[in-house]
Structure 1
């Protein structure tokens, strides 16, 4: 398969799929929560648990995918095709839920299929992009999630206004249909670009050795453990914010149009985030770059404590601009740099499992705090975990710098005049 530039048809269709995979299937739940509660009942704690159920499905999906890829290495396109199609159908099915239990089952299925689709779409699309442009390509793909947030914000009045009791149902059905169309488009483009490429002897490593290497790489404190830890705590923190922000604003009596504006501000700013973050990680592929984005996002989350609509909206825009999709896209790009090609899909899937674990814990802890201390405290608590994520990303950047300095020192000791290959881009 010949490599393409970051801006190509395959990244475009991958981005459209991420509108559904991230923006519609996962994050739209937060904005539809008030409408769902009015329609089918349940407390915020119970409905917050549905977010946990969704991410349990997501975690199971990320843990199931590596052995599937190892057992059927040539079936990634087939797995991706069915994952994307079933995701769209599950979203349509969820629109017909009449009880919390029914919706929970659909949310589990959506989490499972979106986990497969997240890893496979990224893996397939990134394989088709030139290595030096993969950060930018990652940004273009992940900004689809921001576009999904923007679109759900525009239809927020239909989902939040009490006069539109079933608005969330119509929205999810339409979103699922869009997902099926995007899946067909991605499959068509990938089918045109696919060739009969066979694995070289160097790539044909044993499956057992591949898994051992992946786990050693991801869980070694001297390699990628702090990067993965940052991903875990970011998932924990950001999902609390996205789950309970809209219910908090509604509880304050803010008009549905203004609520939609704040949600759309996250998505609109995120459209620039994909481009900025992708370019930044190509230029400075470092944990420090990641830490800066998460730190600014932590400050944005803190805006909810001001009790001021303008400050809260500004904080939401900051989150969208610098930290909504920055961590996933940057970690996608960093892993692509430091993980062998044959192990990338497995590595990304396992890293996503840590991310999903944080997202499982987040709604549980957030729901307990919301019930005990109120919605504002629950939303603001996400800043604590995002701050931990920023600190771990910074520590990973420090490790990178130390390794570069060690390599440079060893090169000077050997009297080599050639410049050291700056593997980490520092």
Structure 2
């Protein structure tokens, strides 16, 4: 049985806490703690500026691989075992990155941390939510992905003081924090985790054009969030000449937005529905990212950082809610969510390398990347309008459905 009839309170919040720790470690810290480290990695001459940018994209490539292998890994072990292994992998990667032996060494460990993040993203909700009463699943989903925001905010506040000890100690400090969170969540996972069911020809996602349009829309959202996620601190610190301290402060504001994102976006989904919420969020984000390209004052950058920071973690529960709106069957929801994550990860990885190439080719032109990102978000918005046309066509031609 997927949902206990009357689970004790501890049986509800412990898996949620474990899921929060997993998203915090594997994405909140493993991906986002790298951003405030970019200026220091360059200034300390660990790697060249070009290499540092491509090393950031390694995590995005790993995320795609992890999204693809998450369910196969869970089938060979269990969801709980796979999640624990992935958190251990991230922890090991943090400690390994404290040794800049070569670009290949660093790339490999950044890739591994991304793999762990992708696998956790496709498994964590399917592992935790079946043990949460239906009336609390919306809140539980927001709480799980709140870990991403906490990791972003934590990286902005923890990294600067750690950097005063040195780059190597910074990586070791992040590894220690990851180890503590892994240990704290170890026994919080559900005692009887539900392993991923092998996909058969009968398990394919229903051929609903709205579902595939959502996949495409989610992919362009991924392309739109990469520049700020990777380059924001470097833009403020080096691009605007404000220095790493101001860059770190802006990243803290980005992290504040990331904490607000899952809760506020979830509230919107409850009040307006996921479709209308996605439309509103995309309009606001397109404007904010576009303004980032022409803003230079601290106040404007701080406000924009909060708005933009809400986007990466906020769209995850929002897209998941949209999947649930479109697909009523539980198992098919899991398949659709896995495919949505793969489409997101694919565009995120491609965008990571494309933006890196454009950044290097343009001589470090940050504003160009933000303008292109705003365009990607506008395309996602136009795809949402496409969903409306498809839905209208379904009403006009019900016999074709």
Aligned to 1:173: 172
Of 216, 222, 229 in structure 2, the residue corresponding to residue 229 of structure 1 is 216
Tell me how far apart the structure 1 counterparts of residues 347 and 328 of structure 2 sit (CA, whole Å): 23
Cα deviation digits, residues 6-46 of structure 1 (max 9, x gap): 97232123213222122110122121111112234444333
Classify 1:148/1:196 alpha carbon distance in 2 versus 1 (closer, same or farther; 3 Å).
closer
Comparing 222-231 and 50-59, the one that deviates more = 50-59
Deviation at 1:196? 9.1
Aligned to 2:124: 121
Aligned to 1:326: 314
Classify 1:147/1:362 alpha carbon distance in 2 versus 1 (closer, same or farther; 3 Å).
same
Q: TM-score when scaled to structure 1?
A: 0.81
Tell me how far apart the structure 2 counterparts of residues 21 and 46 of structure 1 sit (CA, whole Å): 22
Cα deviation digits, residues 316-353 of structure 1 (max 9, x gap): 111134x2322111112332452632344443222211
Q: TM-score when scaled to structure 2?
A: 0.86
Cα deviation digits, residues 53-81 of structure 1 (max 9, x gap): 22222212211233444x54x72222122
Aligned to 1:391: 382
Classify 1:196/1:84 alpha carbon distance in 2 versus 1 (closer, same or farther; 3 Å).
closer
Classify 1:80/1:376 alpha carbon distance in 2 versus 1 (closer, same or farther; 3 Å).
same
Superposition pairs for residues 237-256 of structure 1, below 5 Å? 237-251=224-238, 252-256=240-244
Deviation at 1:210? 4.7
Report the 3-state secondary structure (helix = DSSP H, G, I; strand = E; otherwise coil) of the residue aligned with 1:306.
coil
Classify 1:99/1:207 alpha carbon distance in 2 versus 1 (closer, same or farther; 3 Å).
closer
Aligned to 1:136: 139
Comparing 231-240 and 90-99, the one that deviates more = 90-99
Higher radius of gyration, 1 or 2: 1
Of 34, 37, 42 in structure 2, the residue corresponding to residue 37 of structure 1 is 42
Tell me how far apart the structure 1 counterparts of residues 184 and 323 of structure 2 sit (CA, whole Å): 27
Aligned to 1:424: none
Aligned to 1:76: 79
CA contact (8 A) 1:367 1:378 kept: no
Deviation at 1:241? 1.6
Superposition pairs for residues 9-158 of structure 1, below 5 Å? 9-69=14-74, 71-72=75-76, 75-158=78-161
Report the 3-state secondary structure (helix = DSSP H, G, I; strand = E; otherwise coil) of the residue aligned with 2:44.
helix
Tell me how far apart the structure 1 counterparts of residues 59 and 319 of structure 2 sit (CA, whole Å): 22
Deviation at 1:108? 0.9
RMSD of aligned C-alpha atoms?
3.0
Deviation at 1:406? 6.8
Tell me how far apart the structure 1 counterparts of residues 94 and 329 of structure 2 sit (CA, whole Å): 35
Of 213, 230, 255 in structure 2, the residue corresponding to residue 267 of structure 1 is 255
CA contact (8 A) 1:39 1:165 kept: no
Tell me how far apart the structure 2 counterparts of residues 318 and 147 of structure 1 sit (CA, whole Å): 16
Aligned to 1:376: 367
Deviation at 1:123? 1.6
Tell me how far apart the structure 1 counterparts of residues 174 and 264 of structure 2 sit (CA, whole Å): 27
Tell me how far apart the structure 1 counterparts of residues 255 and 105 of structure 2 sit (CA, whole Å): 29
Aligned to 2:347: 358
Tell me how far apart the structure 2 counterparts of residues 398 and 298 of structure 1 sit (CA, whole Å): 22
Tell me how far apart the structure 2 counterparts of residues 142 and 207 of structure 1 sit (CA, whole Å): 26
Deviation at 1:195? 4.7
Superposition pairs for residues 307-326 of structure 1, below 5 Å? 307-321=296-310, 323-326=311-314
CA contact (8 A) 2:91 2:178 kept: yes
Comparing 228-237 and 113-122, the one that deviates more = 113-122
Tell me how far apart the structure 2 counterparts of residues 157 and 85 of structure 1 sit (CA, whole Å): 24
Aligned to 2:284: 296
CA contact (8 A) 2:233 2:244 kept: no
Tell me how far apart the structure 1 counterparts of residues 328 and 256 of structure 2 sit (CA, whole Å): 32
Aligned to 1:280: 268
Aligned to 1:258: 246
Structure 2's unaligned 5+ residue stretches are none
Structure 1's unaligned 5+ residue stretches are 411-426
Aligned to 1:417: none
Number of aligned residue pairs: 389
Report the 3-state secondary structure (helix = DSSP H, G, I; strand = E; otherwise coil) of the residue aligned with 1:358.
helix
The answer to whether structure 1 residue 209 and structure 2 residue 201 are counterparts is yes
